[in-house]
Amino acid sequence: MYVCLCNGVSDKKVRQAVRQFQPRSFQQLRKFVPVGNQCGKCVKACREIMQEEWEQM
Ligand code: FES
């Protein structure tokens, strides 16, 4: 499922980036995947995905 439509980024890609690079904030996540840099509608969903992944690590 696409989480960021502006950049065509899937939730799977965000999850992979969180696991691989272990960003500690949304700002850090953006260094690894292009999300939240246009309309910003995906920011909330990305934060939720990060939270879910952290809870599983
Ligand atoms: Fe991610 Fe627009 S949906 S910036």
pLDDT tens profile 1-39: 999 999 999 999 999 999 999 999 999 999 999 999 999
8 Å CB contact between 9 and 3: yes
Query: Which parts of 1-57 are beta strand (E)?
Result: 2-4, 9-10
Confidence band of 40 (pLDDT split at 50, 70, 90): very high
Residue 26's CB is within 10 A of a number of other CB atoms, namely 14
Q: Which of 1, 9, 42, 48 to mutate to test the pocket of ligand 1 (most atoms within 8 A of CB)?
A: 42
**The two three-digit tokens of residue 29, written as one number:** 């996540």
pLDDT for 48 beyond 90: yes
Does 46 score more than 90 pLDDT?
A: yes
Check if CATH label 3.40.50.720 holds for domain 2-56.
no
pLDDT of residue 57: 86
- 10 Å CB burial of residue 39 (0-12, 13-18, 19+) is exposed
Pocket, ligand 1, Cβ cutoff 6 A: 4-7, 35-42
| Strand, coil or helix: 18 | helix
Could you tell me the residue ranges of all domains in the chain?
Answer: 2-56
Q: Is the pLDDT of residue 44 over 90?
A: yes
Q: Cα(10) to centroid of ligand 1, in Å? A: 11
